[in-house]
Amino acid sequence: MSGEVVMARGLTRVYQEEAVPVHALRGVDFSLSSSEFVSLSGPSGSGKSTLLNIVGGLDRQDEGIIELDGEELAPLSEGDLAALRLRKIGFVFQAYNLVPVLSALENVEFILQLQGVGSAERKERAGEALKSLGLSELQDRRPGEMSGGQQQRVAIARAIVTNPVLLLADEPSANLDSETTKELMELLRNLNETQGMTIITATHDPMVMGYAKRQVHLRDGTVERDEVVTD
């Protein structure tokens, strides 16, 4: 068993778009150790989202190898992939990604419920996750009754409540103002530093990039730069 959370070798991904093949990834090598905080950046079409999706088990590579937490993803069925996402990965998407008819607490609880966690444990863990993000007072509100930043924090609570091995955030700041983005990123950094949460973000936003400790820059489906940031 390697200590690596993500190990990718020679990933290629080609989309067929209206008879023109689009090479989203052209042989990407990428690996990630536990407790790293990485930002994937690059212009539109650089392949950062594709890489994030393949790492998250939402998309499949055409060639190459991808292992998550020591497990190769290629042979897994759709059902196995879904189970794997449920157990090992926490997702944070752009805003509006909570179930609108469920309260904050219920949204967080729901993911534990999908995992089959019992009722008492579920409530306790969901409550703690919200508390750790300073959301205890909002736990009975529904998404429509919260601000964008609050919603995004609930989404993070939902992502971390399962103790995933990897947290993926796809353009987490897309619908947030800079003040809220800052708060959000502080939160992610805090998670990374205090709990050792492994985090990957994919973003255009320099502010988001700035919080990561390692920056991987993609261009035209290949890794252009991969550098560790030292403060």
Q: CA 153, 154, 160 angle in degrees (round to 5)?
A: 90
Rule CB under 8 A: say whether 14 interacts with another protein: no
Binding mask 187-226 for another protein (x = CB under 8 A): ----------------------------------------
Complex with another protein: residue 62 or 186, whichever CB lies closer: 62
Nearest to 156 by CA among 188, 204, 124: 188
Rule CB under 8 A: say whether 30 interacts with another protein: no
- Cα R_g (the chain), whole angstroms: 17
For the CB of residue 159, give the shortest distance to another protein in the complex, in Å.
9
Taking CB under 8 A as the criterion, the residue among 53, 152, 173, 203 binding another protein is: 53
Binding mask 151-190 for another protein (x = CB under 8 A): -------x--------------------------------
Residues 127, 163: contact at Cβ < 8 Å?
no
Identify the DSSP state of 166.
Answer: E
Rule CB under 8 A: say whether 71 interacts with another protein: yes
For the CB of residue 111, give the shortest distance to another protein in the complex, in Å.
6
Which span (3-11, 56-64, 178-186, 201-209) binds another protein, by CB under 8 A?
Answer: 56-64
Rule CB under 8 A: say whether 101 interacts with another protein: yes
Which span (13-21, 80-88, 186-194, 223-231) binds another protein, by CB under 8 A?
Answer: 80-88
Query: Is 110 strand, coil or helix?
Result: helix
Query: Is 19 strand, coil or helix?
Result: coil
Rule CB under 8 A: say whether 34 interacts with another protein: no
Residue 119, phi then psi, degrees to nearest 5? -60, -50
CA 229 – CA 231 distance, rounded (Å): 6
For the CB of residue 201, give the shortest distance to another protein in the complex, in Å.
16
* 129's tokens: 């996750």
Rule CB under 8 A: say whether 21 interacts with another protein: no
Rule CB under 8 A: say whether 47 interacts with another protein: no
Rule CB under 8 A: say whether 3 interacts with another protein: no
Which residues neighbour 199 within 8 Å (Cβ) at sequence distance 6 or greater? Answer: 36, 37, 38, 166, 167, 168, 169, 188, 191, 192, 212
Place of tokens 């390697």: 2
CA 148 – CA 145 distance, rounded (Å): 10
CA 133 – CA 62 distance, rounded (Å): 39
The site for another protein (CB under 8 A) is made up of 1, 53, 56, 58-59, 70-71, 79, 82-87, 89, 91, 93, 96-102, 106, 110-111, 113-119, 158
